[in-house]
Structure 1
Amino acid sequence: MSQSETAVRVIKKYPNRRLYDTETSAYITLADVKSLVMEAQRFIVQDAKTGTDLTRSILLQIILEEEAGGVPMLSTAMLEQLIRFYGHAMQGMMGSYLEKTVQAFIDIQGKLAEQSRGLYDSGSFSPEMWSQFLSGQAPMLQGMMGNYLEQSKKLYVQMQEQMQQQAKQMMGAFQAPPAKK
């Protein structure tokens, strides 16, 4: 692994809202930061004055711009539900649940891409072969989605069990000591 693969790229954010890429010694835009994300490059955005980590707020800005233009990925109802989880006892678990769910979806997408690899490269791919490929995809997709839903269900059940354990521990702390005889 080369040094550039392990190094985290530092982007400084100045009070005038400009972003400065210390690796390229140039000012960049949010679109450039989005490109870094799409290329899976590791980076951190820091306040130029204080060094405070601003990466999450910059990523949220990118999501906001993406949601405002084109076709939104997050529905109003979903955003409302997410907001309701802030300050809720399950807030920490919800983040982990969403992260694992998205990772499961990415894994399914990767498996599908792996299975379809070579179909587009082959010059001798006939319509009959394409038809066979598509007919085989439906059961495979059903299986993968079933696995995805099963993983999602297991994660949710684990979250519920953790909440029950936490509630029991909390209630145990509030119990009155046994009466002396």
Structure 2
Amino acid sequence: MHSKKAHAAKPAQRVIKKYPNRRLYDTDTSTYITLAEVKQLVLDGEPFVVRDAKTNDELTRSILLQIILEEEAGGAPMFSEAALANIIRFYGNAMQGFMGSYLEKNVQAFTDIQAQLAEQSKSMTPEMWAQFMNTQNPLMQGMMGSYVEQSKAMFEKMQEQMQKQTEQMFGAFGLKR
């Protein structure tokens, strides 16, 4: 026998089904939702997965990319054309996997700094905030220094991997550097 509590517990991850007519169905609320509402789930930190209603294939990445595409096409894009072109150049490149990890870690480090600043700013008055922004705050320097160091370490690791791959490639052809 199952207890009532087991049935009342919410799943750890919300399931959204995508139908062939491109509609998204939130199984948690038993309603159709828009892409804007999926974006709000992301902003709220709500864990979810998007699945094809017929095949059950996971479509979460494609929906997230669709949200990014809409945001980029809107008022103030985050990526310049040059940045997008550089990202495209990494697809198929030997460093594709590392670049994805590098970008992910940098975005996470930046997000962590932003969260720390938001938490600290809750107790600040407008006057304190103005003073904070106008001075070289040691806390800010520490957080940004940490971010810069993490980014530098990841870049150095990427350089090392590129050098090893180059040496392996030369070795495969019987050449030495």
TM range (shorter): 0.7 to 0.9
Paired with 1:88 and 1:11, the residues of 2 have a C-alpha distance of: 33
Match of 2:3 in 1: none
Q: TM-score, normalised by structure 1?
A: 0.81
1:117 to 2:122 alignment: yes
Identity over aligned pairs, percent: 65
Structure 1 gap segments, 5+ residues each: 177-181
Match of 1:27 in 2: 32
1:153 to 2:152 alignment: yes
Instruction: Report if aligned partners of 2:90, 2:99 keep a CA contact under 8 Å in 1.
Output: yes
Paired with 2:62 and 2:14, the residues of 1 have a C-alpha distance of: 17
Deviations 1:73-104 (A, max 9, x none): 11111001001111111111000000000011
1:16 to 2:21 alignment: yes
1:64 to 2:63 alignment: no
> Using a 3 Å threshold, how does the CA distance of structure 1 residues 138 and 114 change in structure 2: closer, same or farther?
same
Alignment partner of 2:55: what SS?
Answer: coil
Paired with 1:118 and 1:27, the residues of 2 have a C-alpha distance of: 39
Paired with 1:141 and 1:7, the residues of 2 have a C-alpha distance of: 35
Paired residue total? 168
Compute the displacement of 1:22 (Å). Answer: 1.2
Paired with 2:123 and 2:52, the residues of 1 have a C-alpha distance of: 46
Q: How does 1:8-157 map to 2 (within 5 A)?
A: 8-120=13-125, 127=127, 129=128, 132-136=131-135, 138-157=137-156
Greater C-alpha radius of gyration: 1
> Using a 3 Å threshold, how does the CA distance of structure 1 residues 137 and 24 change in structure 2: closer, same or farther?
farther
